[in-house]
Amino acid sequence: MSRKYKMIDLCAGIGGIRRGYELAKEFENVLSAEIDKNACLTYKHLYGDDPMNDITTDEFKDLVAKTEYDVLLAGFPCQPFSRAGKEEGFHDKTRGTLFFDIAEIISRTDPKAFMLENVDNLITHQKGKTFATIIDVLVNDLDYKVIGVTKDDNGKLEYDPRSFVRNSRNFGVPQNRPRVYIMGFSRKRFGDAVDMLPNSLPTERKEKLYKDLNDLLEMNADDKYFLSEGYVATLERHRARHESKGNGFGYKIVNLPEIESPVSNALLATGGSGKERNLVVDPKEGVAGKIYPSKHTPLNDKGIRVMTPREWGKLQGFINYAFVDKKTGEDKFSFPEKMADGPKYKQFGNAVTIPAVEEMANFMSRCLKILKKQAGY
């Protein structure tokens, strides 16, 4: 059996991208970087590796340069590029952003391939200039074949930004979560063989983890997840104000009986708005009118509650999928002991959907096999 491709996991969060690639069986992690304290605790708890590294430092970049690896993975944030002064390559175009640091690492180490993940707003950020700059840097400055990008006879880049967006709901989970995936292969290493690769990333996953949202929800949740009647009244007033102005904002109950195949809205790291756009009705008995210590008014009589962190974990593929031992059936995912719900919601909201990333990893593996054969690498 050939050796596994070695990968580095940057802006790692709690390791969702890493886990998706590990599930593809062709990749193993050799270095990680994350700076959020709670995410680092969970990452170390899950993988045994301490990812506390800052990709913006020269010290870390030197460490990467000394590390033998093949594939760079990063879920970097969307940040504006300042365009002051002369633009002489990616150093001037992207300085001051985490993408600059990722580009610098790629420039110094020339991995065989990379995959970057971001929010779908990336393609419209700064009227499309941010995304255009990223693609230009990756293709022209760093010399990578980016899947979905071609050049015309004059060397002008041709691509549809929307073709980089993939939705988690098409990859086995009932969550409406569009995300941008950018994958590239080194022209320096593989030459023109990269032009023989398929020019579109996977659009779906055939296997569904859940039939719909109802198949995933765990009813009779703990009382603490049910909203107080005062909070429900506040949400209703808030939505009525927005509706009177013609806006679509406000809370959403995502599992109402009239919804034939319910899916959740995107989970958000900000917590509050992500929860309020993903309320569910839970028919648990004995909740209505109950006094809960931390709530100012009794619990509501409609059974409305937020989803639990565990349900968010299932929507992202962490729980009940990615860490299940195939021999014993035991789910080995867990958070560090005594971690509060707040960081759990934030970490799942920030995370990738693992089944979607797994499909991207399988695609990359197929591409690397094509390149190995064509380029004799």
Q: Using alpha carbons, list the distances in angstroms from residue 286 to 149, 227, 291, 298.
A: 57, 14, 11, 12
Strand partners, 305: 226, 280
What DSSP character marks residue 342?
Answer: H
Which position has the token pair 């593929």?
Answer: 317
Strand partners, 180: 118, 165
Active site annotation includes 78: yes
From CA 87, how far away is CA 67, in angstroms rounded? 30
From CA 93, how far away is CA 199, in angstroms rounded? 26
The one-letter amino acid at 352? V
CA angle 294, 316, 168 (to 5 degrees): 130
| The pair of three-digit structure tokens given for residue 320, joined into one six-digit string | 């009940």
From CA 112, how far away is CA 80, in angstroms rounded? 27
Kindly compute the dihedral angle of the four CA atoms of residues 213, 217, 223, 226, in this order, to the nearest 10 degrees: 0
Kindly compute the dihedral angle of the four CA atoms of residues 357, 252, 335, 28, in this order, to the nearest 10 degrees: 0
Task: Give the residue among 33, 95, 30, 80 at the shortest CA–CA distance from 61.
Answer: 33
> CB-based contacts of 320: which residues, under 8 Å, 6+ apart?
209, 313, 314, 331
Helix (H) or strand (E) holding 71: strand 71-74
Catalytic residues: 78
